[in-house]
Amino acid sequence: MFKNKSIILNSIVHNRGKIFILLSVLVIGCIVGIVISNVIDIEIKNELLGYIQSSNESILNGEYIPNNYDIAISTIYDIFIYFILIIVLGCSVIFSPLIYLVMAYKGFSMGITISFLIMLLGNVKASIYALISMLLPNAILITSMIVLSITWLKFAKDILKNREIYNLKKTICSKFVFSTFVLVSSIIILIPIQILVNSVLNKYITII
C-alpha cells in the first residue's frame, strides 16, 4: 500500500506542470462560462432559463424523477464522450494540444450550468442544489480526465521526440489498456455516486 502511495505521489510531482496547466485551463473555462452566462443577450438567457425551469419544475413537482437506469446511461455517455476525445486527440499526436481545449470545455460547461441554476433558483437552496449535484461527481470525473490527459500528452510528446519508437504497437496497446481501466473505474465509481446524489436531492426537495 505504501509503495502504491509513493508511486502516486511521485507521479503527481513528476507531472505537476501538466496538472497545473490542466487545472488552470479548467478554471479559466469555468470562469468564462460564468461570465458568458451573465452577459449573453437577455432573450437567449430567458429562453435557456425557461427550458431549465420547466425541467426543474417537473422534478420538483414529482412529475419526472430520473430512475437509476437513466442516471447510469447519462453518466456513461458523459464519461465516454470526454474520454474518447482525449484518446483520439492523443493518438493523433499532432492534435494532442487540443486536449487542453477539452478540459477548458469541461470547465466552461460546469461554469455556465452552475451559474444558470443559481440564477434560476436564486437562493441558498439553489447553491446547495448546484454544488451537491455537480461538484462531487465532477471532481471525480475531472481527476480521471487529468490522469488520462497526462497519459496521452506524454505519449504524444514521446512520439514527437523519438519518431522511431521501438515496440510502438505495444506502447499504444498499453495506453489503451490503461485508458480502458480508467474508464471502467470511473464508471464504477461515478454511477453509484450519481444515484446517491439524485436520491439525496429528491429527499431534500421533498422536505422543502
Give pLDDT tens digits for 69-119: 777 888 888 889 999 999 999 988 889 999 999 999 999 988 887 777 777
Q: Any idea which of 55-59, 107-111, 153-157, 168-172 has the lowest mean pLDDT? A: 55-59
Q: What is the rounded CA–CA span in Å between residue 120 and residue 206?
A: 19
Q: What is the rounded CA–CA span in Å between residue 21 and residue 180?
A: 24
pLDDT at 59 > cutoff 70: no
What burial letters (b/e) apply to 64-103, b meaning 16+ CB within 10 Å?
eeeeeeebbeebeebbeebbebbbebbbeeeebeebbebb
For the whole model, what pTM was predicted?
A: 0.79
